[in-house]
Each structure stands twice: as structure tokens, then as C-alpha cells.
Amino acid sequence: MLSLTIAIPVRNEEKNLGLCLQAIGNGFADSVVVIDSTSDDKTADIANQHNVKIIDFKWNGQFPKKRNWFLREHRPSTDWVLFLDADEILTQKVKREIAVALPRSTHQGYLLSYTNYFLGKRLKGGYPLRKIALFRVGEVEYERIEENRWSQCDMEVHEHPLLTGTMGVIQSRIDHRDYRGIDSYINKHNEYATWEAKRLFHYRRTQHTNSTWKPHQRLKYSLLTSPWGGLAFFFGSFFGMGGWRDGSIGFAFCLLKASYFTQIACKLRELELKGKEIA
């Protein structure tokens, strides 16, 4: 059994959590923890059925949000922590690769890759989904962003873990399957767009440095200064990255993602016109 804690931040994830926990199984990680934001569905019941620990989290609108709060207030006793969303399913290949890599690793964290599913279809094209979600306990936190309830997002969504050491790569892919439906998908990205716009508005009007931003973050935020960024994303994803291989489903997926970028740009423009200050 690996010296690994799998931490699953949740809020109303009854449609996803069971499959996520089932895929983890027994004997892989030393500990599995569900961090629950006062769900009012059957999320807690499902966690209890799988005999995993549940920690309740209530956000006060300030730093830290859920993942950093867990790392600080409930620091795992294991060497490694893997943050897994409830709609992410560990495949056998991923588990085998992690099991081989961690015991002899000299890295501080690992970049993970994901296979997207949309409207029941496994996507072949589009921009790849990758993120650092596996790292050493006590050495890494998510970037600190001061905010005052910019949105209702109580969990780090696009904040990135800050590594000071080397990064490894897990080549096998985690399945990213969200069973909550298209309404949830659209509402979620609308909330994310509000947060992204306010973050960029804030950074452009303060002395905060963006020196810790990754290259893809710099590219993203440069695109977000114009509504044309959504169109650029669509052409890059659908044509450049092969989204066309998924037919009409791929077209819809790329179009919705492009709409997300356009939403951020429009929300940012509105904030600038209103001249609001964000604490």
C-alpha cells in the first residue's frame, strides 16, 4: 500500500462519487478522504457506504479555500497526496504507473493527464487536459490568491500547485467523466468565468506580481483581454488540436469551451466599465 492520501473535494456529487471511490478500490492508497462542503444530497451517504473518512468544510469567503485548508488543517500523515475530483476515475493503468513511480521518486510532484468524456462520448481531440494534482505532503501548496467571495467557488479551481523542485509525468490517463449533466456543466463554467474575470481584474489593478504564472496561464490571460480570445480558442481546439475528429460532439464541446473564454472576456469588460474595486 502506497504512502499516499487521496483527497476528494466534493459538494453535491452523488452522481459521480460512487464510481470514483469504486475505481480507487482497496489496497492502493493508505488513506482516502472526502472533503465535503455541506452537501445536501446523498454524497455523505455514498462516502459512508465506501467506509472513507469525511471532513466537513465551510468556507468563509477568504483564503484558504478547500484544498489549501485541508493541507494546513488536516495535513496527511502520508508522504504523498493526490487531489482527485469526484468526476475523475483512476484507471488500472494509472494506478499501476503511480505505484511504480512513487516509492523510488525524487520528484516533488507529478503532472497528470486526463481523457475527457462529453455527452457520453470519449473525446479524441481538443486541447489536452493536464494538471499537477499529485505531490509531496508538506512541500507544496496551491497558489495563494486573496479574494473576497469573488464567486461561490469554495475550492481552488484554476489555482495551481507551486512546485520548487522537479516534476515527473504520469503518462497513463485518468478518465474525466461528469454524470451531472449539461446544465451542471454550463452553470459550473459560468461560475468559473465570474471568478476568472474578477481575478484578472484584480491583478491588473494592484501591485501583485504574476511571476508565478505558468506559460499557459500567461497565454490564457492574454487571450482573455479580448472577446476574440474565444474564437482563437475554438479554431485552435477544433482544427489545430483535432477536435473535428469527434464530429458534432467535438464541435459542441469546443464551442462551449470557446463560449467560456468569451464569457470571461465580457465579464472582465463589464467590470472595467463599472470601475468596481475588488478587495
**Pick from 161, 176, 191: which residue ends a domain?**
176
> Are residues 171 and 210 both part of a single domain?
no
> Are residues 123 and 250 both part of a single domain?
no
Q: Rounded to two decimals, what is the model's pTM?
A: 0.91
How many residues appear in the chain? 279
The confidence score (pLDDT) of residue 278 equals 44
- Cβ contact 126:241 at 8 Å: yes
Asked, for residue 127, whether it belongs to a domain, the answer is yes
pLDDT mean over 58-82 = 96
Q: Is the pLDDT of residue 218 over 80?
A: no
Q: Is the pLDDT of residue 111 over 80?
A: yes
> Are residues 93 and 192 both part of a single domain?
no
Nearest to 173 by CA among 220, 138, 139, 122: 122
**pLDDT band at 279, cuts 50/70/90?**
very low
> Are residues 192 and 166 both part of a single domain?
no
Query: For position 106, which CATH number holds?
Result: 3.90.550.10
pLDDT mean over 269-273 = 90
pLDDT mean over 193-216 = 75
The rounded distance, in Å, linking the Cα atoms of 80 and 93 is: 19
> Are residues 209 and 260 both part of a single domain?
yes
Tens of pLDDT, residues 161-183: 999 999 999 999 999 999 999 99
User: What is the domain range of residue 215?
Assistant: 182-274
Q: Look at the block and give the residue holding cell 459560468.
A: 190
Asked, for residue 255, whether it belongs to a domain, the answer is yes
The confidence score (pLDDT) of residue 231 equals 92
Q: Is the pLDDT of residue 213 over 70?
A: no
Residue 64, C-alpha cell as written in the block: 484558504
Residue 50, C-alpha cell as written in the block: 465506501
- Cβ contact 224:264 at 8 Å: yes
Whole-number Cα distances in Å, 181 to 45, 87, 109, 220: 21, 12, 32, 26
> Are residues 156 and 211 both part of a single domain?
no
User: Cα 258 from chain centroid?
Assistant: 18
pLDDT mean over 64-87 = 97
Residue 87, C-alpha cell as written in the block: 468526476
**Pick from 151, 176, 201: which residue ends a domain?**
176
Q: Look at the block and give the residue holding cell 465506501.
A: 50
Structural domain count of the chain: 2
**pLDDT band at 277, cuts 50/70/90?**
low
